[in-house]
Amino acid sequence: MNFDRMPMKTFNAGGLNLAYIEDGPAAGRPVVLVHGFASNAHVNWVYPGWVKVLREAGYRAIALDHRGHGDSDKPHDPEAYHPHIMAKDVAALIDHLGLGQAHVFGYSMGARISAFLALERPELVRSLVFGGLGMGMIEGVGDWAPIAEALRAPSIEDVDDEKGRMFRSFAEQTKSDREALAACITTSRTLIDADAISKLDMPVLIGVGTRDDIAGSAKGMADLLPNARAVDIPNRDHMLAVGDRVFKKAVLDFYAEMDA
């Protein structure tokens, strides 16, 4: 990746050193950005322009590298990656920075983790954005065992599964610890109960690409929640939707309504 990296800070959560970035005015309302599987704060949020867009809109953008990802510690034990544990990492960052309450924006696996955070620590969450994950959060997103196998394969040439090759290639591109990612994908996909998530009453925006075959329905998820809306990200698949300008405008408009 030939992009300029932002300086990262660290904090301790659950005995692990986790890395994060922050940018934007100190007095700006905080937006905590929660990246997807096999990604990191830079790949998910800096390089697609989200940190810049939020900073220019007056927000304080904060993005962590999950355990097992980026510059954070990388345990190889699958038991370290249950979503409620990773949600505690996000809560620990919010507490560490003394934010009180923040907009929380998760993409793909990060959306699932954000949902667990909102269910367990709703007082920390002013609003939620779920990107790249709709009803898949409740119904599942297919068999991901081939992804763990692909990550552990001696070479990408040994991987036949299409989705497995995609994530193996992405992991190599981001120079990730593939064993840590294989451990993560083994236990991080816990489904959320529809009745439980329907009790979330903070504003929620769900954005999914119209060509995304992983996420599940954004509208279906929005219909479950008392204060939610869905946005279609036109002609984008799971990998390309995150940086789309339609999605960026929808999120900024969503925030502007609450923060006017």
- Tens of pLDDT, residue by residue over 171-183, are 998 889 999 999 9
pLDDT at 1 exceeding the cut of 70: no
Taking the domains of the chain in order of start, what are their residue ranges?
A: 9-139+188-259
Measured at the CA of 161, the angle between CA 71 and CA 209, to 5 degrees, comes to: 65
The DSSP 8-state label assigned to residue 7 in this structure reads: P
* 81 within 8 A of 186, measured Cβ to Cβ: yes
Question: What pTM did the predictor assign?
Answer: 0.96
pLDDT at 20 exceeding the cut of 80: yes
Segment holding 256, helix H or strand E: helix 245-259
Confidence of residue 104 (pLDDT cuts 50, 70, 90): very high
Per-chain mean pLDDT for the chain: 95
pLDDT tens per residue, range 192-250: 999 999 999 999 999 999 999 999 999 999 999 999 999 999 999 998 999 999 999 99
Of all residues in the chain, the percent with pLDDT exceeding 90 is: 89
pLDDT at 98 exceeding the cut of 50: yes
Quick one: average pLDDT of 78-84? 97
The C-alpha torsion from 186 through 188 and 194 to 200, rounded to 10°, is 180
* 242 within 8 A of 131, measured Cβ to Cβ: yes
pLDDT attached to residue 101:
96
Quick one: average pLDDT of 63-86? 97
pLDDT at 155 exceeding the cut of 50: yes
CATH of domain 9-139+188-259: 3.40.50.1820
**Would you mind telling me the total number of residues written for the chain in this entry?**
260
> Taking Cα atoms as reference points, which of 20, 18, 95, 30 lies closest to residue 57?
30
| Residue for token pair 């969450």 | 125
